[in-house]
Structure 1
């Protein structure tokens, strides 16, 4: 896994690395490997994950087919401060 540091901004690169690791499931795997998991617990967990994946897939397919109403997305005004701005614009909370 590789993250580039631009303009000596290590904090931004660290945030990007954490986001990539979260997406890849590395934190979840580290937590799982911390302690021994019995084979019966592993089977139970894997079955639950499979059910969760199947339900998610069915829900997305239902939304695509129009059988289920898609969840409403929050409007841009209600998302809160510091979100949704352009990259070059000043922060909403004032000067730093």
Structure 2
């Protein structure tokens, strides 16, 4: 993972690094590996994740078909580049 430091701005580079790590799931994996997870707990967690994914796909499909309202667009801050 590579993060460029511009104008010796360490805070901005650190923020970019954290954002990249969050997107790649590094923090989630660290939390999962912190302690041993029993096989039954792992199955339950993976099953719950699969259910969440299926619900999300169904919700997106319903929004495309017009059965549910589309989500409101996010407003970006004006001060960013």
After TM superposition, the score normalised by the length of structure 1 is 0.76
Unaligned segments of structure 1, at least 5 residues: 77-82, 89-96
- Normalized per residue, the structure richer in helix is 2
Q: CA RMSD in A?
A: 1.7
1:21 maps onto 2:14 in alignment: no
Aligned to 1:62: 62
SS at match of 1:52: helix
1:1-96 counterparts in 2 under 5 A?
A: 1-73=1-73, 76=75, 84-87=77-80
SS at match of 1:32: helix
The alignment covers a number of residue pairs equal to 81
Question: Which runs of at least 4 in structure 1 moved beyond 6 Å after TM superposition?
Answer: none
TM-score by length of 2: 0.88
Any gaps of 5 or more consecutive residues in structure 2? none
Give the Cα–Cα distance (whole angstroms) in 2 for the partners of residues 25 and 60 of structure 1: 23
